[in-house]
Structure 1
Amino acid sequence: MAVRQPQQDRSRATRQRLLESAIEALAELGWAGSTVAVVAERAGVSRGAAQHHFPTREDLFAAAVGFVGDARRLWTREHSIDLPTGPERTRAVVDLIVRLYTGPLFRAALHMWVAATSDPQLRESVVTLEAHLGRETHKLALELLGADESTPGVREIVQATLDMARGLGLANLLTDDSKRRAGIIDRWAEILDTALRTGVKA
């Protein structure tokens, strides 16, 4: 005999599917194509059920902002566990950061950025989230690189790494930029590794 899932658990699972589907829709269809009806269909629920959780499109995507942030944090932490030690580590860390900014989660975030330029309420949520994520990602990069931020110039070169990764993410939006990107990652990793080992000149 099948055990019925408690109502609270079913409700939580439905909400989770809606948020996941909202991110997928944003990454694939952009803001204009990511309607409540589209998200509900992808989540396998009725539009009425979707609106029970999120009465308006704005409610749905305001919640999706936080969900994207949590997903990006989780992805980064999970993928940083198996990074190599030794001479290959800097290259692996740079590659990890670049993959964060070239993957579907960042693509979804970019669509929210664009939408936020004309939506003050969404902009407030997105700006707050991105500022927090930026600080967290910077701190994690320092940790993974074993870099001391009190050393002059370290903060700036690590931030430059994050800015470069973001730029590569933008370049990857329209075409597959993976071949050119690999060479850039190799060269930047060499520069970063040398700078961290020998001291960064401010």
Structure 2
Amino acid sequence: MKNRNQALAALAVASMLLSGCAAATGSVSAPSAVSATAPSAASPEAGHTDSQGGGHHGGGTSSPGATKDGPSDAALMVCGDQPMDRLTSILNLKEDPHTINDWANNTFTCTYHLNEGALTISVHEAVDKASALTYFNAMQALAKDASPIEGLTNLGFPAYETDDGSAVFQKDAFVLHVDATDLPATIGPENITRNALAYQLSSTILACWIEHP
């Protein structure tokens, strides 16, 4: 996989598991209904109103399956302390960036407003693992310049990344999408690539999900 050391990736996840994870705290506002069209197997990314979505295209109908009343605790974690702490550490931010979140059509979206642009993390909650994999496969098929994430770096889950800064993982009934496509090619004092940033935030969230299934 491009620009990534497999052993370091596994070590990073192990470190997160040891440090502990918690569900999103009071910093997450109550998700509100939005008018965006939901993602679907035919057009998985239509529901991301705040993301530029450079690696994906589509728009249309609602996703199949029952509509949930609100996001799960696991989905709320993408707007919680762990990804926020990881983001501020990587970019050496002096304060937490402003975030907004939405819940629509079984997709929870958290947008981090950085000076350089928007970073969007979303979780689609399918009815079961098979439905989530179908949704993931449709996203990958439609994604521009998608490359599978393989070996230790996929953490044992179906995963892919796009050249312009997205990372997508499927775990159980969840499809996690970290979208850094609105950011510059490199960011922060260490000039981390947006692909590496998307991957590191993905691994942080997945580590929390592994600890708190």
If the length of structure 2 is used for normalisation, what is the TM-score?
0.24
Structure with the higher helix share, 1 or 2: 1
If the length of structure 1 is used for normalisation, what is the TM-score?
0.25
Structure with the higher strand share, 1 or 2: 2
Instruction: Answer 1 or 2: higher relative contact order, Cα 8 Å, separation at least 6.
Output: 2
